[in-house]
Structures are given as structure tokens and as C-alpha cells.
Structure 1
Amino acid sequence: MKLVDVHCHLESVHFIHDLDRVIADARDAGIAKLITATITPNQWDRSRKIAGSYPEVEYSMGIHPWYIRESSLDDIPALSHARELGAVAIGEIGIDKKTESGDFDRQLAFFEKQLAVARDIDLPVIIHCRGAFNELVRSLQKIGAPKAGGIIHSFSGSPELAEEIIRFGLSFSMGGTLTYRNSRKRAAVLKKIYPRHFLLETDSPDIPPVQKHGEINYPHYILYNLQAAAEITGDTMEKIAENTTMNAARIFNLNI
């Protein structure tokens, strides 16, 4: 059984000094690939070096909406070289109305410029969106999505919204929130997007499964998310692993 964690943050201070063990534990859990998503330009080179050191690791390049204050729009043109630098995606990019890290118009400018770069070089996107799905759809209508597609990570919208976003060629990843037993909406969404548009993530070191509440999240905890997805869909863990790994390989052009 092979798995792909399509969204984690291996450059985190929680991991960087014990990365050999983190990767070994992920490998033991059946994770064939991990995509570490950068959030600021000063992480791009560090994550590229991590990906170059571990065959299981791929990386993406992007500027997260929480960190636009410490970044510049002038950083974005460098993303046009992401493919030649070995990145498999542009991300983590997006918009977030539930954060105080920057005015929304500036967030939107960062997001749309990065989305345009991804479209121009045809790398998939990894999108963060909270409380701004209407604006997300408008940006996708305005700029377009890469032909390669991409994912909305830790998706929290409705089944109807998921259906609308799928029309742009995008898919969805979900992680620890799958283990939260009280979410009927999340279950309804998963049943709508599975099997072709569902991928697994951990967002580690954040958003641990309920079984590890209050602890640092690790990539190998993806097994809790896989089990929860099996319980929700009624499919086997093995079949979900097969489908989500196939989806990840297709979207991010992974050799698994």
C-alpha cells in the first residue's frame, strides 16, 4: 500500500533537526511521496535542498497569505523558474479572510499573480482558502487554473462548492479534520469528491488527527486520516490509498 502526503511542511522548526527520523517514520507508514509546501520566499531554497536529500520528498514554491507582510510582489516573478528548479507545484498560495496577517486586497493581489504564473508555466497549484470561497471562484474565473490542475488543501467548503471548483480542473486534499467525528458536511463533501478528486494530506506539523489532539502532527499520522476516509466512504483503506496515490501522481506528475 503506497500513500502520498500532498501537503506538509518539512521545513518546520518542529522537524528540521530530526528530519531523518520523520522521513523514516513516513516511509514505514507506506508514504511513497511527500510534498513539502513552502510559505515564504526564504524557504524556497531550503525546501529544494530537503527534496534533493530525500527521494521521497518533493517541494512546491509559493507565498502563503499569512506571510505577505514579510514578502514582496517583486518576489513572485522568480516563481516562473519553479519548474526548472525542480518544484512540482506553485503553493502554498491563497486567500484567507480569517487571518489578521494582511489586508485582503493585498492577499488577493499576491494570490492572483501567483496563480497567473502557475497557469503560464503550467504547474499545478496548492491553494489555501478560508472564508473566501466566493472570491476564490471569481479569481479562477478571471485568471484561470493551470491545465495541470491542482488542489484546494484542507478543503472546508460545501459539496456544491466542490462541484463548482471541480469545473476548473481542481481537486481537494483533506487531512486530520477527517477524524473529527461531528462533521456531517465534511463527510458529504468526501462522498462527492471521492474517488477522482480526493487526495490525502497531513498539513503536518499542524492539524493533527483527533487521536493526537494537542500534539505535533507528523506525516506518518496520515494513517489515521486514511482510516477515517475509509469509514466515511465505505471503501477499503487499500483502495483509498490506491485512488489517492493515483490522483497525486496524475496532478503532480510524480513517479511512484
Structure 2
Amino acid sequence: MFVDSHCHLDFPELASQLPEVLERMRANHVTHALCVSVNLPDWPRLMELVRGHEHLWASVGVHPDYEDTPDPSVEQLVGLAADPKVVAIGETGLDYYRLTGDLEWQRERFRRHIRAARETGKPLIIHTRAAAADTLRIMEEERAAETGGVMHCFTESQEVADAAIAMNFYISFSGIVTFKNARDLQEVARTIPLDRVLIETDSPYLAPVPHRGKLNDPSKVVHVAEKIAELRGIPVDEVSQASTSNFFRLFKDVKQ
């Protein structure tokens, strides 16, 4: 039994073949998937998708890369998060890799998401790229530890992982952990506590080896678990059981 803790089934590449994707999930024992919001204009379409499937769930939030999109208020996020199919706030965070210049708007957006998470009691889904120090600083200043959450598609250092775990966060590994050049990340996956590990695809992107470069979908999260098991020298069933238990512990509103 596997769970994909982060995917984008509403993106056109996957939405156009949803029945086939769901069948591949079933065939590979992927029982649940969390479909993560990236902006508010597309959020109704995301919700329409998850409402039709009892094993699909959603978040609400605006990705830090989305500059030219409506910025949510705390009150708006809290109101949308009241939907029973919404189990998390995000994805949110900071990304200094793709965007440059004055990014204070990104930091303020991140703060609003953390405040909404604290008000709703729902966990955060955090994206951070080339911005680890500011991400951790804002998490601490805004008391993100009160809700906890997940550092999704983790690619940072052991020190960043340890700091996030100390703030009640889980570390989620994507197909990147299977890449040959991801040695530092593989060491993080090998050493952090297993009770803090989640697995994800971030599909339709980042397909794991042996599917690298191809369209990704939640059925391929199995390969992420297999790689983590290989790195830790344990059976894949142990990674499956731990990551699945961790998912339901963090996203407590998801019905099993």
C-alpha cells in the first residue's frame, strides 16, 4: 500500500487521461493521492476532480512561482479550507531560483499561508528552492510548528531537514531521490527518522528512474519507496508502511 503525498492530477497532461491514471494507481497499490493547489483560478477545477473520487484529496494555496495570479488573504484561505475535501494549506513557500528582484511579495504570501494554517489547524505543504534560510526563518517567526506540515519535493541539505523536523515537519522525497547525481539527497533519505518520511511524485513532473524524462503519475511513487528502501537497506514494505502511516498521521482529515 502506497500513498502519493503530492501530485497535480488536475494539470492537463494527467486530467486528460484520468481514468487510465487511476487504473495504474490501483494496479500499483497506490491507495490515496493528495492533489495540490497552485493557484486560486484553477482551484474549482481541482475540487471538482477530487470530489468525484473518495481516495483523492486536495489542498488550497498559491505556489510561490505564480507571480501574476490573485493573491489570497488569510480569510480567503481559511474559508476555502473549510471544504471537507481540503486537508492542507499550500503549496506555499519561497522560490528564489526562477524569480529574481524584490521578492518580498513571496515572503508576505508565505506568511499569510502559515497564518491560515494556524487558524484552520491544517498542515502546511511547503515548497522551497534556493531559499532555505528565509524559508526556515519565516517558519519560525510565524510559528509554523504549531500546525506542522511537509517539506515537499525535498532537495535541501541534512541541516535543513533537521531544522524542519525540529519544527514538526515531515520530509517528502520525489523521483529526484532516484537520480544518479542526487547523492547528497540520497544520504538525507538514508539517515532521517523513518517516522518523518513521506513519498510523492509531484506528477506530472520528475518521473523517477526507470521512467525519467517521461510523463509522471501517482502510480510511479512505488519507485521512490523502492529507492529509499534500497538506501536504508530495509524491505520496501517497511518504507510503504511507514510513509503511509506518516501520511495519515499528518493529514488527519483524510479518510482511510
> Unaligned stretches of 5+ in structure 2?
none
- Letter matched to residue 192 of structure 2: I
Rate the CA distance shift 1:80–1:146 in 2: closer, same or farther, 3 A.
farther
| 2:82 is the counterpart of 1:84 | yes
Distance (Å, rounded) in 1 between the aligned partners of 2:20 and 2:213? 21
- The two structures have a TM-score, normalised by structure 2, of 0.94
**3-state SS of paired residue (2:125):** strand
Residue 255 (structure 1) aligns with: 255
Rate the CA distance shift 1:252–1:115 in 2: closer, same or farther, 3 A.
same
> Unaligned stretches of 5+ in structure 1?
none
| 2:51 is the counterpart of 1:52 | yes
**3-state SS of paired residue (1:67):** coil
Q: How does 1:21-40 map to 2 (within 5 A)?
A: 21-40=20-39
CA contact (8 A) 2:7 2:200 kept: yes
| 2:64 is the counterpart of 1:65 | yes
* Partner deviation per Cα, 1:198-253 (whole Å, 9 max, x = no partner): 10000000111132222111111112111111111111111100000000000001
How far 1:102 sits from its partner (Å)?
A: 7.4
CA contact (8 A) 1:68 1:101 kept: no
CA contact (8 A) 2:63 2:93 kept: yes
Deviates more, 1:109-118 or 1:42-51: 42-51
Rate the CA distance shift 1:47–1:91 in 2: closer, same or farther, 3 A.
same
CA contact (8 A) 2:59 2:81 kept: no
Rate the CA distance shift 1:148–1:250 in 2: closer, same or farther, 3 A.
farther
- Letter matched to residue 79 of structure 2: H
Q: Which runs of 4+ in 1 moved over 3 A?
A: none
Deviates more, 1:54-63 or 1:222-231: 222-231
- Letter matched to residue 244 of structure 1: S
- The two structures have a TM-score, normalised by structure 1, of 0.94
* Partner deviation per Cα, 1:152-193 (whole Å, 9 max, x = no partner): 001111112211111110111111011112322112211232
Q: How does 1:132-211 map to 2 (within 5 A)?
A: 132-145=131-144, 147-211=146-210
How far 1:73 sits from its partner (Å)?
A: 4.3
Distance (Å, rounded) in 2 between the aligned partners of 1:249 and 1:240? 14
- Letter matched to residue 78 of structure 2: S
- Letter matched to residue 98 of structure 1: Y
How far 1:101 sits from its partner (Å)?
A: 7.5
RMSD: 1.5
CA contact (8 A) 1:173 1:201 kept: yes
CA contact (8 A) 2:59 2:91 kept: yes
Distance (Å, rounded) in 1 between the aligned partners of 2:140 and 2:164? 10
Q: How does 1:211-250 map to 2 (within 5 A)?
A: 211-250=210-249
Residue 10 (structure 1) aligns with: 9
CA contact (8 A) 1:67 1:101 kept: no
